[in-house]
Amino acid sequence: ARFTFPEPGELSPPIVAMRDVSVGYDDKVVLRKLDLRIDPDDRIALLGANGNGKSTLMKLIAGKLEAMSGEVTRANKLRIGYFSQHQTEELDVTSTPYQEMFTLMRQSNPDVTEPKVRAKLGAFGFSKDLADNTIQSLSGGEKARLLFAIMSFDAPHLLLLDEPTNHLDIDAREALVQALNNYEGAIVIVSHDPNMVERVADRLWVVRDGGCHHFDGDLDDYRDYTIQMRRDKRKKDKKKKDKDKENKD
């Protein structure tokens, strides 16, 4: 497996900034009072239990969700590459990787040539034969590699990766980690793979209790923190249960 992310141009920091932002769906607020910034060299991992709002925050950063209140600013000419496994559902399975990439690249450059299109696909391990197969015949890992190629074709300054390794085998995961560490732009990642988080991210943000805050420490510190939080919750629940029983008696 091969991954090669194109290098972005330089932008002045911050590339994304939020001030007192609330975000959610319809009338339901998921996250509130967000005061965050992302700089061009940031490597951030979002941590927190499922359902706490990590993917919601990623969509907000990507511009796929509008803020319900507050202010989100993005650097002029900022290009964002957004990866989510759900995007495979949006692919035309009767098309081929070459046709999809050619259509995408032609939108920004009507004179794009076949060699340039194939070079973009080749950077993610697509030979000519594989690029000319229908998408429905690709494996899960090959579809994931196609999504990486599509999301990064225009050299984004910021990569947003929501569970990027779900369908990748061990070799592909290692290739992805190396490619991300060679990439010079900013990264925000959500992953249940601790090896990837430890090797790619140098900053941790915790999403919980309807907000997001910086976590001072490494992944081991975060594990200890979550264990202590669970213990405290169990003690609190037990005290409440005992008190309710006492009042009932």
Summarize pLDDT for 190-199 with one digit per residue, the tens. Answer: 999 999 999 9
Q: How far apart are CA 228 and CA 231, in angstroms?
A: 5
- What local confidence, expressed as pLDDT, does residue 163 receive? 93
* pLDDT per position as a tens digit, 131-145: 999 999 999 999 999
List C-alpha distances in Å: 189 to 48, 147, 158, 165, 198.
12, 15, 11, 11, 11
| Residue 3 pLDDT | 92
d(CA 155, CA 140): 24
pLDDT for 233 equals: 82
Separation CA 112–CA 159 (nearest Å): 24
SS3 of residue 85 by DSSP: helix
> Which residues does 81 contact at the CB level (< 8 Å), separation at least 6?
151, 152, 156, 158, 159, 160
Residue 140 dihedral angles phi and psi, to the nearest 5°? -60, -40
Per-residue model confidence (pLDDT) at position 98: 98
Cβ pair 112, 120 in contact under 8 A:
no
C-alpha torsion sign, points 231, 234, 239, 240: positive
Q: Look at residue 100 in the predicted model and tell me its pLDDT.
A: 96
In this prediction, the residues of the chain whose per-residue pLDDT falls under 50 are: none
Instruction: Annotate 180-212 with b (16+ C-beta within 10 A) or e (fewer).
Output: beebebbbbbbbebeebbeebbeebbbbeeeeb
